[in-house]
Amino acid sequence: MTDLAEPVARPGGLRRLLAASGAQNLSLLAALLILVAVFGTLRPEAFFSTRNLAAIMSAIAILGIVAMAQTVVIVSGAIDVSVGSIVGLASVSAAVAMARVDSAAAGILAAVLVGGLAGLVNGLLVTKGRVNPIITTLATLAIFQGVAFIISNGKAIGVLNTDFNWIGSGRVLGVPVTVWTFLVIALLMVFFTKATDMGRNVYAIGGNPQAARLAGIRIDRYRVGVFVLTGLVCGVAAVLLTARSTSGQPSSGSAGLELEAITAAFLGGCAMAGGKGTVVGTTLGVLIIGTLNNGMLLMFVPNFYQLVAKGALLLAAVMIMEFRMGRRAA
């Protein structure tokens, strides 16, 4: 008599969903829900108002775009602390372009091109100059910000083009254009990192540069490309920021934007050594930071306490990631 093989038990739908989501993303989602519950309980009328939710999403859109670009840089094994200054320089460039040529297209093109050029400078300094990425981007942070102040004479440059300003205030199907832009960029970044050979090679470079070099991957070319991509994406963020404020301000991107972008990336699971991190995880990190910022404003928390909270959040994110990686290595 032949024994019938017992069917192998398969995990249920919920377990498969949890496994696919990952413990990191689930913990971030839980933290986000806790923040929403806390602020929603303390200031329910203000926090859940349509106007406030729209403000949160618009702020998250700009930060999220910059944070996604930062994620790709960190995954490649580098870091770019000049992203805020690139946004400020690109913002001023867009305003100057539209002051000379009253065209929304001219402003958009100027912001994206200047952002890409700034990224190219960073990439060449890192690869050809052999300067550490942190030192390089610390230097260019000051340089780009200084150039922005020189171009604008230290003043905000007003933008009167209604077509351009619609990008910051308009809505499509009831959703702000800034949010639609964020969603499009997010989908493109997910596709780039997950579905293209270039994206997979970026992970390989960050995870094991020596093995990537032996596999024939041209590391320097990829690193330059990553910094250029970051600059281009920062240019898009500058367009949204300039349209939203209807002015190009040299300091618009340097008010903690780089700190928040780096924090979001590490909250989302990026590793300091590179080779690890996802756009989805970073997006959850952005949602946490945006909700925290908005909640603290509604609670009238002084700005210096907010700075302490953001710095502590960055430290906690890095320490948790290093602890998890240490446990896996052990």
Confidence of residue 125 (pLDDT cuts 50, 70, 90): very high
Question: Does 306 map to a domain?
Answer: no
Taking the C-alpha atoms of residue 288 and residue 2, their distance in angstroms, rounded to an integer, is 58
What confidence score (pLDDT) does residue 5 get?
Answer: 46
More reliable by pLDDT, 8 or 239: 239
Q: How many domains does one find in the chain? A: 1
Confidence of residue 169 (pLDDT cuts 50, 70, 90): confident
Question: Does 309 map to a domain?
Answer: no
Q: What share of the chain is helix, strand, coil (3-state, %, to 5)?
A: 75, 0, 20
pLDDT tens string 258-286: 888 998 998 888 888 888 889 999 999 99
Confidence of residue 116 (pLDDT cuts 50, 70, 90): very high
Task: Give me the DSSP letters along 259-323.
Answer: HHHHHHHHHTT--TTSS---HHHHHHHHHHHHHHHHHHHHTT--HHHHHHHHHHHHHHHHHHHHH
Question: Does 26 map to a domain?
Answer: no
pTM of the predicted structure, to 2 decimals:
0.85
Confidence of residue 328 (pLDDT cuts 50, 70, 90): low
Written as one letter, the residue type at 73 is V
What confidence score (pLDDT) does residue 271 get?
Answer: 83
Place of tokens 């509604």: 298
Structure tokens at 36: 């929403």
Q: DSSP character for 219?
A: H
**Residue 105: is its pLDDT beyond 80?**
yes
On whether the CB atoms of residues 237 and 62 are closer than 8 A, the answer is yes
Range of the domain at 91: 48-254+272-277
Task: Give me the DSSP letters along 101-144.
Answer: S--HHHHHHHHHHHHHHHHHHHHHHHHTS---HHHHHHHHHHHH
pLDDT tens string 191-250: 999 889 999 999 999 988 999 898 888 999 999 999 999 999 999 999 999 999 898 888
Question: Helix (H, G, I), strand (E, B), or coil: what is residue 157?
Answer: strand
Closest CA to 281 of 177, 193, 181: 193
Question: Does 158 map to a domain?
Answer: yes
Q: Which residues touch 52 (CB under 8 Å, ≥6 apart)?
A: 46, 294, 298
Closest CA to 233 of 60, 67, 58, 57: 67
Closest CA to 287 of 45, 28, 38: 28
Q: Kindly list the distances between the CA atom of residue 217 and the CA atoms of 43, 53, 133, 194, in Å, as whole numbers in the listed order.
A: 53, 44, 20, 17
User: Of 83-92, 118-127, 215-224, 252-261, which range is least confident?
Assistant: 252-261
Question: Residues of the chain with pLDDT > 90: what percent?
Answer: 45
What confidence score (pLDDT) does residue 14 get?
Answer: 46
Question: Helix (H, G, I), strand (E, B), or coil: what is residue 233?
Answer: helix
Question: Does 131 map to a domain?
Answer: yes
Question: Does 316 map to a domain?
Answer: no
Instruction: Find the mean pLDDT for residues 1-9.
Output: 46
On whether the CB atoms of residues 252 and 241 are closer than 8 A, the answer is yes
Place of tokens 């890192």: 126
On whether the CB atoms of residues 177 and 170 are closer than 8 A, the answer is yes
Instruction: Find the mean pLDDT for residues 97-110.
Output: 91
On whether the CB atoms of residues 209 and 78 are closer than 8 A, the answer is no
**Residue 91: is its pLDDT beyond 90?**
yes
What confidence score (pLDDT) does residue 228 get?
Answer: 96
Question: Does 217 map to a domain?
Answer: yes
What confidence score (pLDDT) does residue 330 get?
Answer: 56
Question: Does 35 map to a domain?
Answer: no
More reliable by pLDDT, 298 or 255: 298
pLDDT tens string 12-28: 554 454 444 456 678 88
Taking the C-alpha atoms of residue 161 and residue 177, their distance in angstroms, rounded to an integer, is 16
